[in-house]
Chain A
């Protein structure tokens, strides 16, 4: 268990409090068909257009496990460095609801397919925590009840009914909203690397039940509350903070926290009670007699392990070792697999070795800024790794300055998506002026025209910046800044 870290404590009226967070993530398994039926899992179909007889729980229908969903769960377990249980079983969780056609959800209650594991979560470049994984199990999603279609009736859309979910349960190892958000971000990255869940929170493909309790540092765990179905990383953070504040205020007022299920209302920034422990359902779990125990063998698991992609932690370590990147840069680049791939493609483009740090800076700087402004990922911008590679090469060869390079990137984005930076520089005459004679002529001209500034600069050498600017202006920005600097220093006698 993590030690209490004073920087993460919350100040209450009567002293410091520590917040304890555990998360249950529901991740929709990426698969063509549902967990126990052949119906499509495609998002956005007309209501009830992806529903098989099994999903609609017609009389006499039986579930048959989808092998791809099993493989995805095992791959994910391997990615979480978790124990793969070679024998797991399915149970029925019984309750009545119109979007649950069987009257029970098939889940894995007693024996999940994946046991304990852990996730390394980077908080800052030099601080990380390990969050324990309690278990991962497979279960069916429910359908969707639509209460706003008719004044007197509710409608039911069963397209989601029976879609496979992985429920990934963490240990109560997080001590702040920031840690919880970082954990979800990392877990999402791992799932996306593996390809077992697309992590699309807007479509509800990744949602969290958040367990929150508070305690005085060093004391045992207190009663927790569960906040159901939080569907964005930002809301997870807000829900934890709101709930921790509520519990602290309650206890400091002499009250006690009751175990209950709560909902987070983002518009009001508060959680409210959904049902108390007394109102909790009795789910009457029992083994599903329609399904045999799920038995896997070592060779099967090893086969999946052998084809697992390189995961974020390993990739980050390699980026640091092979490219000499800082922990921070490597961490940013590996957060999305596509960005990491983009980086490597740009570094290695044309079989030439180029400055990886420079490539990283371009991707994390100007390109990321553009991508963010358009709400795109790096790989979704139409800028190609080859173009970034070319830009870096042009700067390295002193053909253009960094300033001109920014302009060239802007031209690519705005006008010439397919052109190489070299071609743009050539066509537009952007080549850097390194001819010392031409630069000196420009310097002489500026010095001659500004005797007052010369005097000022000689008294205060930082004034040289003003001269650099003037010279660059006079040369259309193409002068080599180093050469301009050298000439100015010499001529001004600095």
Chain B
């Protein structure tokens, strides 16, 4: 029987506006076949039906419809930017003026910025419509979206051998056993995969765009460090953080990045040059491009399905005319430990400003020290506290040289490995995106955090070297879960990654995303949604 009829829903996937790609929706808007208001309303309806996935932590329907109406006016006059009228989701890490911006932390309780991040400002400048703020690991620290103060996000992918009924029941409970969407941009990846937005902003410090993209069958790119401004992004590790999009196709990711990127005098580390026309790179021939395959990414005991997929990716690119070479990146194995020194070190300092003095949560104390201690103990979750402590430790007198300085040296060596490969003529490097497919909520990291950290083993090298990395869906495991491949490029050569990514997309075929099993009879009341009463405030956001 037809699923949708069984659920009492009448929308046909062929005409469901949420199933358009960003590029298709753009063209339909331009051709006036659909209005931004219709498109936006379709997404708001889908979001309402998908609330139990917990992808959005703040919906902004009034703002969305107002922006859509303004876009329709511009489109009617034949005006409008490259994203005019296209509804998207925004990771809670980005400052959005007057709207929930807490990096999914309790310590930023009720914080509403008076300013807009540069990346989102670029998107609104180009006409995009904001649907709401997306769930994430607290301060982007996590690989499963389980560290969010607002609770975990459920992946729209059904766990292997689970019935829809079982999944729906779990969704209404503590979500254990449902799949994680990855993290930290778990809300972004889940929302894109579940058709709750056409695309979403995300951010990547050690893999937080690419790993969730791989886990959810979506496309994510972390551009070169400095390609997007960090102004108005809640900082985790400043030398590693980079903005990027998650979308359903390589072309959509290229369109999004083209808008998000660009120079910004408010960020000294931002590249001072215009972003190229990334969409033009999609479909460009990859003939003659040299693809490096690094032997160090072949881990002992790695899932053979990942190995097979990687080999398949190599074949696809070879078939598309690329030349494949074996390369060595000898310092790869040091990357993860070094990352888990550098990132917490910077985080321990970046998070010092959350002290209860000026904004966000304040837990009063008898003196200032007690105020700090109580506020930070109550405001930060366990993973954030762990990383602040690690970071404080590795920067302390007597340990600085042994940890931080050595980690920075390793970082230089990792960068040099890549530089050598590129100097030898390699245009891009192909690796798996993750060492496994998505795992279950509550399954990993509770006893040993390192188990969770290992998720980033293929992605952190790219952040450490400041390079662009793209994750593209490449296939399914035997159990039917998506797997992704990662393409690593030369600095500021995202274009090559987009053309190679599209070649993989063409060869693998567009990922078939899950049907909305969650939507069946699942229109949640706001009050029913988990432990945090203040979330309801966000849903009132703009409603009054």
Docked CA distance A102–B392 (Å): 15
Question: Considering the complex, which residues of chain B in the window 342-357 have a beta carbon less than 8 Å from any beta carbon of chain A?
Answer: 345-346, 348-349, 351-353, 355, 357
Contact assessment for B268 and A64 in the assembled complex, using a CB-CB cutoff below 8 Å: yes
Minimum CB distance partner of A294 in chain B: B268
Instruction: Collect the chain B residues with CB atoms within 8 Å of residue A146's CB.
Output: none
Contact assessment for A291 and B103 in the assembled complex, using a CB-CB cutoff below 8 Å: no
Minimum CB distance partner of B101 in chain A: A59
Contact assessment for B113 and A58 in the assembled complex, using a CB-CB cutoff below 8 Å: yes
Q: Is A98 an interface residue (CB 8 A)?
A: yes
Q: Is B231 an interface residue (CB 8 A)?
A: yes
Instruction: Collect the chain A residues with CB atoms within 8 Å of residue B265's CB.
Output: 64
Q: Is B235 an interface residue (CB 8 A)?
A: yes
Contact assessment for B268 and A104 in the assembled complex, using a CB-CB cutoff below 8 Å: no
Docked CA distance A156–B355 (Å): 14
Docked CA distance A239–B260 (Å): 57
Q: Is A92 an interface residue (CB 8 A)?
A: yes
Known: A284-B396, A286-B349, A292-B269. A60 touches B232 (CB 8 A): yes
Q: Is A290 an interface residue (CB 8 A)?
A: yes
Instruction: Collect the chain A residues with CB atoms within 8 Å of residue B345's CB.
Output: 286
Instruction: Collect the chain A residues with CB atoms within 8 Å of residue B397's CB.
Output: 282, 284
Contact assessment for A60 and B230 in the assembled complex, using a CB-CB cutoff below 8 Å: yes
Q: Is B124 an interface residue (CB 8 A)?
A: no
Q: Is A96 an interface residue (CB 8 A)?
A: yes
Smallest distance from the beta carbon of A413 to chain B beta carbons, Å? Answer: 53
Contact assessment for B268 and A62 in the assembled complex, using a CB-CB cutoff below 8 Å: yes
Instruction: Collect the chain A residues with CB atoms within 8 Å of residue B237's CB.
Output: 289
Contact assessment for B353 and A103 in the assembled complex, using a CB-CB cutoff below 8 Å: yes
Contact assessment for B266 and A104 in the assembled complex, using a CB-CB cutoff below 8 Å: no
Question: Considering the complex, which residues of chain B in the window 81-115 have a beta carbon less than 8 Å from any beta carbon of chain A?
Answer: 94-95, 101, 103, 108, 111, 113-115
Q: Is B130 an interface residue (CB 8 A)?
A: no
Instruction: Collect the chain B residues with CB atoms within 8 Å of residue A424's CB.
Output: none
Smallest distance from the beta carbon of A34 to chain B beta carbons, Å? Answer: 14
Instruction: Collect the chain A residues with CB atoms within 8 Å of residue B115's CB.
Output: 53, 58
Residue of A58, A65, A154, A285 with highest tally of chain B CB at under 10 A: A58
Contact assessment for B396 and A282 in the assembled complex, using a CB-CB cutoff below 8 Å: yes
Question: Considering the complex, which residues of chain A in the window 96-134 have a beta carbon less than 8 Å from any beta carbon of chain B?
Answer: 96, 98, 101-104
Select which of B114, B235, B267, B352 is within 8 A of A96 by beta carbon: B352
* B217-240 contact mask (Cβ, 8 Å, vs A): 1 or 0: 000000000000011111101110
Q: Is B404 an interface residue (CB 8 A)?
A: yes
Contact assessment for A286 and B353 in the assembled complex, using a CB-CB cutoff below 8 Å: no
Known: A96-B372, A98-B368, A101-B358. A62 touches B352 (CB 8 A): no
Q: Is A56 an interface residue (CB 8 A)?
A: yes
Question: Considering the complex, which residues of chain A in the window 51-97 have a beta carbon less than 8 Å from any beta carbon of chain B?
Answer: 53, 56-65, 92, 94, 96
Q: How many A-B pairs fall under 8 Å by CB? A: 96
Residue of A96, A284, A291 with highest tally of chain B CB at under 10 A: A284
* A407-434 contact mask (Cβ, 8 Å, vs B): 1 or 0: 0000000000000000000000000000
Instruction: Collect the chain B residues with CB atoms within 8 Å of residue A104's CB.
Output: 349, 352
Known: A56-B358, A286-B400. A64 touches B353 (CB 8 A): no
Q: Is B285 an interface residue (CB 8 A)?
A: no
Q: Is B359 an interface residue (CB 8 A)?
A: yes
Contact assessment for A290 and B396 in the assembled complex, using a CB-CB cutoff below 8 Å: no
Q: Is B465 an interface residue (CB 8 A)?
A: no
Q: Is B199 an interface residue (CB 8 A)?
A: no
Question: Considering the complex, which residues of chain B in the window 242-282 have a beta carbon less than 8 Å from any beta carbon of chain A?
Answer: 265-269
Contact assessment for A292 and B268 in the assembled complex, using a CB-CB cutoff below 8 Å: yes
Docked CA distance A258–B234 (Å): 43
Smallest distance from the beta carbon of A101 to chain B beta carbons, Å? Answer: 6
Smallest distance from the beta carbon of A62 to chain B beta carbons, Å? Answer: 5
Instruction: Collect the chain B residues with CB atoms within 8 Å of residue A101's CB.
Output: 353, 357-358
Docked CA distance A378–B445 (Å): 74
Q: Is B395 an interface residue (CB 8 A)?
A: yes
The contact size tier of chain B is 35 or more
Minimum CB distance partner of B391 in chain A: A284
Minimum CB distance partner of B395 in chain A: A284
Q: Is B117 an interface residue (CB 8 A)?
A: yes
Contact assessment for A57 and B396 in the assembled complex, using a CB-CB cutoff below 8 Å: no
Question: Considering the complex, which residues of chain B in the window 365-379 have a beta carbon less than 8 Å from any beta carbon of chain A?
Answer: 368, 372
Docked CA distance A61–B350 (Å): 11
Instruction: Collect the chain A residues with CB atoms within 8 Å of residue B372's CB.
Output: 96
Contact assessment for B117 and A290 in the assembled complex, using a CB-CB cutoff below 8 Å: no
Contact assessment for B395 and A289 in the assembled complex, using a CB-CB cutoff below 8 Å: no
Contact assessment for A65 and B392 in the assembled complex, using a CB-CB cutoff below 8 Å: no
Contact assessment for A92 and B349 in the assembled complex, using a CB-CB cutoff below 8 Å: yes
Minimum CB distance partner of A282 in chain B: B397
Known: A59-B95, A154-B368, A292-B269. A286 touches B404 (CB 8 A): yes
Contact assessment for A94 and B349 in the assembled complex, using a CB-CB cutoff below 8 Å: yes
Contact assessment for B239 and A289 in the assembled complex, using a CB-CB cutoff below 8 Å: yes
Docked CA distance A56–B359 (Å): 10
Docked CA distance A315–B239 (Å): 48
Smallest distance from the beta carbon of B126 to chain A beta carbons, Å? Answer: 20
Residue of A57, A65, A103, A282 with highest tally of chain B CB at under 10 A: A103
Known: A59-B234, A282-B397, A289-B238. A103 touches B355 (CB 8 A): yes
Docked CA distance A392–B352 (Å): 66
Docked CA distance A285–B349 (Å): 10
Select which of A56, A60, A282, A291 is within 8 A of B233 by beta carbon: A60
Contact assessment for A156 and B357 in the assembled complex, using a CB-CB cutoff below 8 Å: yes
Instruction: Collect the chain B residues with CB atoms within 8 Å of residue A282's CB.
Output: 396-397
Instruction: Collect the chain A residues with CB atoms within 8 Å of residue B95's CB.
Output: 59-60
Instruction: Collect the chain A residues with CB atoms within 8 Å of residue B352's CB.
Output: 94, 96, 102-104
Select which of A65, A96, A286 is within 8 A of B355 by beta carbon: A96
Docked CA distance A98–B355 (Å): 8
Minimum CB distance partner of A96 in chain B: B372
Docked CA distance A64–B266 (Å): 6
Minimum CB distance partner of B234 in chain A: A59
Docked CA distance A65–B396 (Å): 27
Minimum CB distance partner of B372 in chain A: A96
Instruction: Collect the chain B residues with CB atoms within 8 Å of residue A285's CB.
Output: 395, 400
Smallest distance from the beta carbon of B158 to chain A beta carbons, Å? Answer: 36
Minimum CB distance partner of A56 in chain B: B358
Instruction: Collect the chain A residues with CB atoms within 8 Å of residue B357's CB.
Output: 98, 101, 156
Known: A286-B404, A292-B268. A60 touches B349 (CB 8 A): no
Residue of B117, B238, B349, B351 with highest tally of chain A CB at under 10 A: B349
Docked CA distance A154–B357 (Å): 11
Instruction: Collect the chain B residues with CB atoms within 8 Å of residue A60's CB.
Output: 94-95, 113, 117, 230-235
Docked CA distance A96–B369 (Å): 9
* B286-313 contact mask (Cβ, 8 Å, vs A): 1 or 0: 0000000000000000000000000000
Docked CA distance A8–B209 (Å): 68
Smallest distance from the beta carbon of A182 to chain B beta carbons, Å? Answer: 36
Instruction: Collect the chain A residues with CB atoms within 8 Å of residue B238's CB.
Output: 289-290
Known: A59-B108, A59-B113, A104-B349. A291 touches B268 (CB 8 A): yes
What are 13 A-B pairs with beta-carbon distances under 8 A? A57-B353, A59-B235, A98-B355, A102-B352, A103-B349, A154-B368, A284-B348, A284-B395, A284-B400, A286-B395, A289-B269, A290-B235, A290-B268
Beyond contacts A60-B232, A64-B265, A98-B355: 19 other A-B pairs, Cβ-Cβ < 8 A, are: A57-B358, A58-B113, A58-B359, A59-B95, A59-B108, A59-B113, A61-B231, A63-B268, A92-B349, A98-B357, A103-B349, A282-B397, A284-B392, A285-B400, A286-B346, A289-B237, A289-B239, A291-B268, A292-B269
Give the B-binding residues of A (Cβ under 8 A): 53, 56-65, 92, 94, 96, 98, 101-104, 154, 156, 282, 284-286, 289-292
Which 5 pairs across A and B sit closest by C-beta, in order of nearness? Answer: A103-B352, A289-B239, A284-B395, A289-B238, A57-B353
